[in-house]
Structure 1
Amino acid sequence: MARIAEDLLLLLLDNAAAQPGLEPALRQRLLAGAVLLDLAYDCRVRPALPGEPVPGDYLVVLTGPPPLDPVVRPALALLHEAPITASVAIGKLRKHTEDQVLDQLLRTGQIHQIALSQNRFRRNSYAWPLASRARVDAARSALLAALFDGHRPDPVTAGIVSLLHAVHGLGAVLSLNDRGWQWVSDRASEIASGTWVDDNKMADVNLAVATAAVRAALV
């Protein structure tokens, strides 16, 4: 399941317009990066290690069963072709990842799609109201608890905070005064540095290492 990418897009859709925040090009890159983090948390990809026959900033595929989730399949197939950097992977995946995540949220009944325009020669515009608030409320509560209450974030929340912080995108899901933003910026930087990681859990460690590579590719 592309949990990081799906929860991130649900948070971006949680507004009065039911349309995702952030400008499209940035949003597409952010969601492509989120899918790479989903693969990393499933221990299917990781940055190359010292001594391996590829540069250290390349992503390599780890063995495992074929993923069932249609959102992560294209990313894994791309990385199976040859090791590439996170930046190149994001560049290749960004055009279609948002549509794939939206399609999955529609298929699983988490959002509705409402056409706002009908154009023969241009892409139509849509709104995607939430079918249920349960999942986005849980994601938002976890986000707020990590940022404001000092709670140790779960891996999905840590991934979302780290990605949004890298592109200065937390304003797309939060509304705060200047003092609040200073607090959030400091706390988000702390989370992005990997202080949340349980060193005894390989998935946590792999996600944190991959997050550093993806954040560098997004900056």
Structure 2
Amino acid sequence: MAQIAEDLFLLLLDNASAQPNLDRPRRERVLAAAVLLDLAYGCRIRPAVAGEPVEAGRLIALAATPVVPDPVADPAFELLRRRPLRPTTAVKRLSRHVEDGISGHLEQTGQIRRVQLGHRQFAWPLTNRERVGHARSALLAALFDRRPPTPATAAIVSLLHAVDGLGALLSLNDRGWRWVHARAGEIASGSWVDEYPTALPEVNLAVTTSAVRQALG
């Protein structure tokens, strides 16, 4: 399951209009980046490092391992399996269809429903608030209570911080924003790896997040 990308999309939908609360250009880029981070957390991709035959920093697909088919993340894996790509290129290519893939899968699995508002304009009301409620609670706890963020929460905060998109989820006064930007910056820097019990998947996620964030700047 593409938890990071799906949770991020559900969080962006969690408002009165049931429409993503972030402009399309930033939304498509950040969702594409989230799909890449789902692959990183599953140890299916990583950035190349100096000394490898691939240019350092390019995202490379690792040896395919038996996994449950994932209609959201698998197309991104196949893209990178064809050849390693710079994060900027991968985000650009994936952003074209990523929202349709995520929304379609969430609709197919009964987590949202699609309501047509006009030509190519839709709302996606949530059918159950339990999942988005957990995701929002984890995000608020990480930002305001300084609890160690889960890997998915750390990834979501890091990506939204990179595109100045936390305002899509939060409404705060100046003092609140100063606090949030400082804490989000800590998480985006990778400090969460020292706060959370980590193993190889978490470390790979943090390293890949750093590479992908640069593609969103």
Query: Does the TM-score normalized on the shorter chain lie above 0.5?
Result: yes
**% identical aligned pairs:** 58
Specify the code of the residue in structure 1 equivalent to 2:114.
Q
Q: What is the match of residue 30 of structure 1?
A: 30
- SS across alignment from 1:56: coil
TM-score (norm 1): 0.95
Do structure 1's residue 139 and structure 2's residue 135 form an aligned pair?
A: yes
Shift of the 51–14 alpha-carbon distance from structure 1 to 2, 3 Å rule, reads same
The superposition leaves residues 20-53 of structure 1 with CA deviations (integer Å, 9 ceiling, x where unpaired) of: 0111111001100000000000000000022101
| C-alpha deviation, 1:200, in angstroms | 4.7
Specify the code of the residue in structure 2 equivalent to 1:159.
A
Query: Which of 195, 212, 215 is the equivalent residue of 2:213?
Result: 215
Number of equivalent positions: 214
Q: What is the match of residue 65 of structure 1?
A: 66
Q: Distance in 1 between matches of 2:3 and 2:115?
A: 24
Query: Which of 183, 188, 199 is the equivalent residue of 1:201?
Result: 199
- SS across alignment from 1:46: strand
Q: Is the 8 A contact 1:67 1:73 kept in 2?
A: no
Specify the code of the residue in structure 2 equivalent to 1:33.
A
Q: What is the match of residue 158 of structure 2?
A: 162
Q: Is the 8 A contact 1:199 1:205 kept in 2?
A: no
Q: Is the 8 A contact 1:19 1:127 kept in 2?
A: yes
Do structure 1's residue 185 and structure 2's residue 200 form an aligned pair?
A: no
| C-alpha deviation, 1:199, in angstroms | 7.3
What pairs up with 1:58-137 in 2 under 5 angstroms?
58-63=58-63, 64-65=65-66, 68-117=69-118, 119=119, 124-137=120-133
Q: Is the 8 A contact 1:46 1:210 kept in 2?
A: yes
Specify the code of the residue in structure 2 equivalent to 1:10.
L
Q: What is the match of residue 148 of structure 2?
A: 152
Q: Distance in 2 between matches of 1:27 and 1:80?
A: 25
Gaps of 5+ in 1: none
More displaced stretch, 183-192 vs 197-206: 197-206
